[in-house]
Amino acid sequence: MEVFLAEPVEAPTVTGRCTLSGGRWYSWYDNTFVDGPRGLDIDHVVPLAEAWDSGASAWTRERRVAYANYLDDERHLEAVTARSNRQKADQDPATWLVPDNPAERCHYVAAWTVVKLQWGLAVDPAEQETLAGVAAECPEIDVAGNPVP
């Protein structure tokens, strides 16, 4: 619910017990505007399965729960179309790189890198090669995803 309330381009109405109606969101994975929350999923930029394979398997239960529900950095969880979230699934950038919106690849790689760094998650060689290749094409964005002056 928090992500839906933090990311709309037009705010929804909150009624009853956490029920949203109306509102409009931008799914940057596929460059799509979505009216109403029904067509959206909340995506972990670094999927739970990827986090598990990258070091979260050694975490305590409390740390895994904290990761799954982390709201302190807007790059961690994203409201995106259900279709794009299903396409991405638990893939890393070596196999999925915002294919429907190449203009957002710099944004995606920056967000991925920040989440991996924040949580001390490992990067495999294929993932590293892809991240470095895309980052080399993104001189206007630093590792934190901020514009370079």
Give pLDDT tens digits for 64-96. 999 999 999 999 999 999 999 999 999 999 999
Asked, for residue 147, whether it belongs to a domain, the answer is: no
Asked, for residue 15, whether it belongs to a domain, the answer is: yes
Q: What is the DSSP string of 57-93?
A: GGS-HHHHHHHHT--SSTTTEEEEEHHHHHHHTT--T
**Chain Cα centroid distance, residue 48:** 11
Cα angle, residue 128 at apex, residues 86 and 60 outer, rounded to 5°:
70
Asked, for residue 102, whether it belongs to a domain, the answer is: yes
HEC assignment per residue over 22-56: CCEEEECCCCEEEECHHHEEEEECCCHHHHHHCCH
Asked, for residue 120, whether it belongs to a domain, the answer is: yes
Q: What is the pTM of this model?
A: 0.90
Asked, for residue 144, whether it belongs to a domain, the answer is: no
Asked, for residue 86, whether it belongs to a domain, the answer is: yes
Asked, for residue 145, whether it belongs to a domain, the answer is: no
Give pLDDT tens digits for 16-70. 777 888 899 999 999 999 999 999 999 999 999 999 999 999 999 999 999 999 9
Domain count, the chain: 1
Give 79's contacts (C-beta < 8 A, 6+ positions apart): 3, 4, 7, 25, 27, 37, 40, 41, 42, 43
Range of the domain at 53: 2-136
Asked, for residue 67, whether it belongs to a domain, the answer is: yes
- In DSSP terms, 116 is beta-bridged to none
